[in-house]
Amino acid sequence: MTQLKDQINRVISFEKAPKRIVSLVPSQTELLCDLGLESSIVGLTKFCVHPVKIKSKATVVGGTKQLDVEKIKALNPDVILCNKEENTKEIVEACESVCMVHVSDIFTLNDSLQLIKQYGYLFNVEEKALQICNEIEWQYKDFECFVQNKKQLKVVYFIWKNPWMVAANNTFINYLLTLNNFDNYYKSQHRYPEINLEVKPEIDLVMLSSEPYPFKEKHKKDLEAFYPNAEIVLVDGEMFSWYGSRLTKAFAYFKALRLNLC
């Protein structure tokens, strides 16, 4: 018998290690593959794009907020993997009518490391999970030394346009901004607020994320008048919002970002 508490303290148990997995979170799909579990994934979302061609190897059951429960049932999964932010409470409850559901809840690096270790235990890939965790911890310690003497910058991190939305407090993005020694201008607000564009000369850096809104070079001009003293850059949203094994690459990306700033 395998038993554990997921990250919202729900007890889940299995007679044996789950073999048929439905993943409803893109970053967790990537983690499963990096744990060597790609062949066990029978269902995923249309947003699960890493690794390349993963959607051609499993059934797409919908998005992260809307899915086809009947299609999931037909896959006869042993476990469905969700996330508190990515998936709604209603989705989790619907999935519980199918089979056991594991729910992650990620706000910090330690939360991510805990999730990786839970998957290692749950799917009998503990050695590989430990390797990934060790790599992330090493990369973070190296980056921590790199960034400690870097100037703190006042930043705004945009995730959407029309309406304009930013990453604020109680998000994994805000946590990673803090690790980068970036001071989030909207850290006093909650989650992902809509904002009105106003002239803010005190901002040092405006970050336009590649997801969920696909900001491009042309969008920089929309913001130049409102942030006259800021450098405006496009950033890889996956590096700032995907957890799990993506963190083995994120800190090298953050280091390069800092070095490329004017």
C-alpha 227/C-alpha 215 separation (Å) is 17
Phi/psi for 221 (5° steps) reads: -65, -30
The DSSP bridge pattern shows strands 41-44 and 21-23 to be parallel
pTM: 0.95
Residue 167 pLDDT greater than 90, yes or no: yes
| Range in 53-67, 72-86, 105-119, 192-206 with the lowest mean pLDDT | 53-67
Whose CA is closest to 171, among 184, 162, 161?
184
Whose CA is closest to 13, among 25, 22, 4?
4
Residue 262 pLDDT greater than 80, yes or no: no
Average pLDDT, whole number, for the chain?
Answer: 96
Q: Is the peptide bond before 212 cis (omega within 30 degrees of 0)?
A: yes
> 67: which strand partners?
62
Strands of the chain (E only): list them.
2-5, 11-14, 21-23, 41-44, 59-60, 79-83, 100-104, 153-160, 165-166, 182-184, 205-209, 231-235
Look-up: residue for tokens 């999970």? 129
Average pLDDT over residues 211-229: 96
The 3-state DSSP class for residue 6 equals coil
In a 13 Å sphere around the CA of 38, the CA atoms on its Cβ side amount to 14
Q: Is the peptide bond before 163 cis (omega within 30 degrees of 0)?
A: yes
Ordered structural domains, the chain, with CATH:
2-105 (3.40.50.1980), 146-260 (3.40.50.1980)
